[in-house]
Structure 1
Amino acid sequence: MMTSKIVRAHTQVAVPDPRRALDVLSAFYRDNDCSVSIEGDDHVISISLGTVRVGPRDRAIGIEITAANDTAITQLKTGVITMVDQLVPGADLDCRWHGAGQASEKGGKLPNFRELSVGKVTNLGPDMRRLRLYGDDLTPYLGGAIHVRLIIPPHGVSAPQWPTMGENGLPVWPKGEDKVEPRVYTIRQINADEGWMDIDFVVHGDNGPGSRFANNAVPGQLVGVTGPIGSDLPVVDWYLFAADETGIPAICRYLEDLPDDKTGHVILEVSGPDAKQNLPHHPGFDLAWIFRDGSCPEMAFAPQGTNTNVDADADAGAGAGAGDDVSPFARAICDIKVPDETHGVFCWTATEQKIYRHLHTHFRKTLKLGREQCLVMTFWRAEAH
């Protein structure tokens, strides 16, 4: 019988209080819908790319990573060391990894790094723009993981300096005038044979690196990419997809890939009716548009025999709380009836942080869906006024 290849890497990081560090790291991953189990003194964290085992040592924490390949190992190294850096005060990040993933030694490139150049630029409406990006050997970006990390250079720089990988698993980022900005985006379409991928950007002026890059993009401009990241959708019978503009590219990918016998709902929030996009048609899904400008919601298509009553003015579902200050978008999502056969459903949402909190409560606490039945994400935070 054939078995899947598993590769491993391990290190130790000196910290002032190892057990406190374990608790803080585990709490972070639990809050981000990762499974965390306790095995003796070790905390075992299951992530889409693999498994991270963290345990107490003498004035240190030991970290062991297992994954399917060197690329996944390298991505997990970066992820866990970044969290140690951000969450554990006093951690000594001058550590060295042993085992798999040594191709990413000091001075090496980030996993699957490619330098891409802008080709075709297409406006998708008032709030979104599509860039076709060209590069060599894009085959690592084919498959189930549909997200990438774009590395956006400073505005006006024609020959960017790209980050390299440090021995501790953290990228070494250019500084000062050479500073670059990493941002996660969805591959809307890709053709490795022709050497291009399409990325859809939400554009809202020049007040963010991604939006600024897309607003000013002209053929020949350079951008970096590394990844891919993300995981496959679970195989179930019924799906709920809900997102604002930031999640539309991923939902389009899912609608294109799901078999025709799958059913469910799609709820999308955009600025107004003129910001609607042409989505891939799937015969088993209802589609509702919610508009932030107050225009009446719209149902774009509805298969026979399904409930199309998405009333943005109705009371919110139990998860949001009828008395809370909840947006029409959140109310519409919470009003969707999830089938009782919870083993055969999956709910996927990508929203602003405040809405995320309501939805996380609704799906995880009110409907009591497990991690394998829902993925609730926040891609951005509204500015406080």
Structure 2
Amino acid sequence: MQADSLQATCLLQATCLLQAQAEVPVTNPEHLIERVFDHFAGHDAEITPIERGSSAAFFFGQVFMQARPNGIVMGVKAEDEIALSRMKGMAASHLIEFVEGERPRFAWTGDGAGITQFPNFREMTVERIVDVTPHLRRITLSGSDLGRYATHGQHLKLLMPPEGISKPEWPVPGEDGLPIWPSDDKRPQVRTYTVRSLDLVSGTFDVDFVLHGDHSVGSRWALNTRRGDVVGVRGPIGRPVPEAEWFLLVGDETALPGIARALEGLPANAQGIAFIEVADKSEEQPIHYGAGVELRWLHRNGAEPGTTSLLVDAVRSVEIPAAGTRVHAMAGVEYSAFKAIRRYWRDELKLDKKNVLPVAYWRSGVAEGEKVPDDNDD
């Protein structure tokens, strides 16, 4: 579609969908498309068969792939440049993940082609450091143009430069929509975190870090960073908390910031219950929530994170409201608990997938981004 035609279409529609396309040379394209869209279906995308391919709708955009004699043609659509960039990266990364043989080279055309910086990237500065509990540190970051964090997802990718780098270098988008990273000695390490609270007037938000020594990238950075240090941020990612009448929010320390922010943002008449697992009573923190919501703290009392059934048992103890009540159930937990909770909600209770969001925030013994074999057991 030409630019003038697209602009005219935008004037006639309530929302204008930006679009991009790419032709990818691969062998056995039908099999590759099947594998990619089976994966998308497992992540709650709405899959629609099309001629010689499939399309998938996510809450932030759409993607299609069609087989051609010598490869695949794929396209993405989204409402704005940030969502479009995210769709490009997601489509490209999953196609490359499942392709057999050499990584294909391709370039996106259409909207957003040729950009030199990711539209959701911000360079931010450490403003304040406060210890909320013995093992939780809150770091305030300042930056510009943060309004999207008030209306979209709660999460972000934090890019932490190597120690001793005076001028950090950040990834830039390649022609395939994926990051081109600096050299290894300057490459930032990336971890996923949650915006605990946001102040658009001051241009800051808070990010909470669980402190456990030098055993993780994020904890090490949080222990050593100082006011004035610079980090990179890409976001927001994830889904905003949906509207509902009754809420079930479940998680350990990794999900605590998101649960706390969700509780504090619920309407005054909201009903529900939240379970938060922490090490012991000293790790509890003040959270403001309405009278119709109950918060229960669960203590491991010496057990290692990810080794108890506290959250799974708590979920199974809850009586979900009868059909007709709008329900939102969310769990952010270790991988084993995630599998058990997902199986319980979907297979035993038969809850609608649209009303539940079980997520594996971490996996015992595995660093974020590290590849592990699929166990395919549910």
Q: TM-score, normalised by structure 1?
A: 0.86
- SS for the counterpart of 1:184 is strand
User: Given the superposition, is the C-alpha separation of residues 2 and 76 from structure 1 closer, same or farther in structure 2, using an over 3 Å criterion?
Assistant: closer
The aligned runs of 1:251-266 (5 Å cut-off) are 251-266=259-274
The residue aligned with 1:22 is 33
Residues 129 and 201 in structure 1, CA contact (< 8 A), matched pair in contact too: yes
Partner Cα distance (1:292, 1:13) in 2 = 50
The residue aligned with 2:232 is 224
Residues 152 and 237 in structure 2, CA contact (< 8 A), matched pair in contact too: no
The residue aligned with 1:169 is 177
User: Given the superposition, is the C-alpha separation of residues 61 and 127 from structure 1 closer, same or farther in structure 2, using an over 3 Å criterion?
Assistant: farther
Instruction: Give the CA deviation at 1:239.
Output: 0.9
Moved more, 140-149 or 208-217: 140-149
The residue aligned with 1:41 is 52
Q: Deviation per CA, 1:37-82, whole angstroms, max 9, x where unpaired?
A: 3233332212121111122122322211111011110111112211
Instruction: Give the CA deviation at 1:93.
Output: 3.4
Is 2:125 the partner of 1:143?
no
The residue aligned with 1:349 is 331
Partner Cα distance (1:45, 1:177) in 2 = 38
Partner Cα distance (1:51, 1:208) in 2 = 35
Residues 21 and 76 in structure 2, CA contact (< 8 A), matched pair in contact too: yes
- SS for the counterpart of 1:110 is coil
Partner Cα distance (1:170, 1:263) in 2 = 42
Instruction: Give the CA deviation at 1:213.
Output: 1.0
Instruction: Give the CA deviation at 1:262.
Output: 1.3
Identity %: 30
- SS for the counterpart of 2:301 is coil
Residues 112 and 226 in structure 1, CA contact (< 8 A), matched pair in contact too: yes
- SS for the counterpart of 1:43 is strand
Residues 148 and 226 in structure 1, CA contact (< 8 A), matched pair in contact too: yes
Of 345, 364, 368, the match for 1:382: 364
User: Given the superposition, is the C-alpha separation of residues 334 and 59 from structure 1 closer, same or farther in structure 2, using an over 3 Å criterion?
Assistant: farther
Q: Deviation per CA, 1:8-47, whole angstroms, max 9, x where unpaired?
A: 1111222222122112111222222322232333322121
Is 2:321 the partner of 1:339?
yes
Instruction: Give the CA deviation at 1:109.
Output: 1.2
Q: Deviation per CA, 1:89-147, whole angstroms, max 9, x where unpaired?
A: 2264311111112252xxx1122211111111011213221101112333343323222
Instruction: Give the CA deviation at 1:328.
Output: 2.1
Instruction: Give the CA deviation at 1:294.
Output: 6.2
Of 343, 361, 365, the match for 1:361: 343
Residues 29 and 45 in structure 1, CA contact (< 8 A), matched pair in contact too: yes
Instruction: Give the CA deviation at 1:289.
Output: 1.1
Partner Cα distance (2:32, 2:194) in 1 = 32
- SS for the counterpart of 1:145 is coil
- SS for the counterpart of 1:177 is coil
The residue aligned with 1:289 is 297
Instruction: Give the CA deviation at 1:370.
Output: 2.2
User: Given the superposition, is the C-alpha separation of residues 342 and 180 from structure 1 closer, same or farther in structure 2, using an over 3 Å criterion?
Assistant: farther
Partner Cα distance (1:155, 1:237) in 2 = 47
The aligned runs of 1:128-277 (5 Å cut-off) are 128-277=136-285
The residue aligned with 1:305 is none
Is 2:88 the partner of 1:77?
yes
User: Given the superposition, is the C-alpha separation of residues 326 and 114 from structure 1 closer, same or farther in structure 2, using an over 3 Å criterion?
Assistant: closer
Aligned length: 352
Q: Structure 2: which amino acid aligns with 1:34?
A: A
Residues 111 and 227 in structure 1, CA contact (< 8 A), matched pair in contact too: no
Of 290, 293, 311, the match for 1:329: 311
Instruction: Give the CA deviation at 1:339.
Output: 1.2
Partner Cα distance (1:164, 1:220) in 2 = 24
Residues 41 and 56 in structure 1, CA contact (< 8 A), matched pair in contact too: yes
Partner Cα distance (1:163, 1:45) in 2 = 28
Partner Cα distance (2:217, 2:189) in 1 = 7
User: Given the superposition, is the C-alpha separation of residues 257 and 264 from structure 1 closer, same or farther in structure 2, using an over 3 Å criterion?
Assistant: same
Gaps of 5+ in 1: 296-324
- SS for the counterpart of 2:133 is coil
- SS for the counterpart of 2:128 is strand
Moved more, 114-123 or 342-351: 342-351
Residues 93 and 168 in structure 1, CA contact (< 8 A), matched pair in contact too: no
Q: Deviation per CA, 1:151-204, whole angstroms, max 9, x where unpaired?
A: 111133232111111011011012321121222211112223322111111222
Partner Cα distance (1:113, 1:223) in 2 = 11
User: Given the superposition, is the C-alpha separation of residues 328 and 227 from structure 1 closer, same or farther in structure 2, using an over 3 Å criterion?
Assistant: closer
Partner Cα distance (1:291, 1:102) in 2 = 50
- SS for the counterpart of 2:255 is helix
Partner Cα distance (2:38, 2:74) in 1 = 16
Moved more, 24-33 or 360-369: 24-33
Partner Cα distance (2:262, 2:314) in 1 = 21
Q: TM-score, normalised by structure 2?
A: 0.88
